[in-house]
Amino acid sequence: MKLMRIGEFGAEKPVVRLDEDTYIDVSDAAGDFDEAFFGGGGLAALRPLVQERQAAGQVERFAGERIGAPFGRPHQILCIGLNYSDHAAETGMEAPPEPILFNKSPNTLIGPNDDVRIPRGSTKPDYEVELGIVIGRRTSYLESREEAAAAIAGFCVVNDVSERSFQTERSGQWVKGKSSETFNPAGPWLVTGDEISDVMNLGMWLDVNGGRRQTGSTATMIFDPFFIVQYLSQFLVMEPGDLINTGTPPGVAMGMNPPGWLQPGDVMELGIDELGTQRQRVIASR
Q: What is the mean pLDDT of residues 262-268?
A: 98
Q: In the prediction, which pLDDT does 286 show?
A: 85
Kind and range of the H or E element at 251? none
Give 207's strand partners. Answer: 212, 269
Q: In the prediction, which pLDDT does 171 show?
A: 81
Distance CA 74, CA 80 (A): 17
Q: What is the mean pLDDT of residues 103-132?
A: 97
Q: In the prediction, which pLDDT does 199 show?
A: 97
Q: Output 225 or 174, whichever has higher pLDDT.
A: 225
For residue 136, the 8-state DSSP code is -
Q: Which amino acid is at 265?
A: G
**Residue 269 binned pLDDT confidence (cut-offs 50, 70, 90):** very high
Cβ-Cβ contacts under 8 Å for 269 (sequence gap 6 or more)? 206, 207, 210, 277, 278, 279
In tens, the pLDDT along 5-20 reads 999 999 999 999 999 9
Distance CA 45, CA 241 (A): 16
> Going by DSSP bridges, is the β-strand pair 276-283/267-272 parallel, antiparallel, or unpaired?
antiparallel
Distance CA 183, CA 74 (A): 14
In tens, the pLDDT along 37-59 reads 999 999 999 999 999 999 999 99
Is the domain 77-283 a CATH 3.40.50.300 member? no
Half-sphere exposure of 134 (CA within 13 A, CB side): 31
User: Domain extents for the chain?
Assistant: 2-61, 77-283
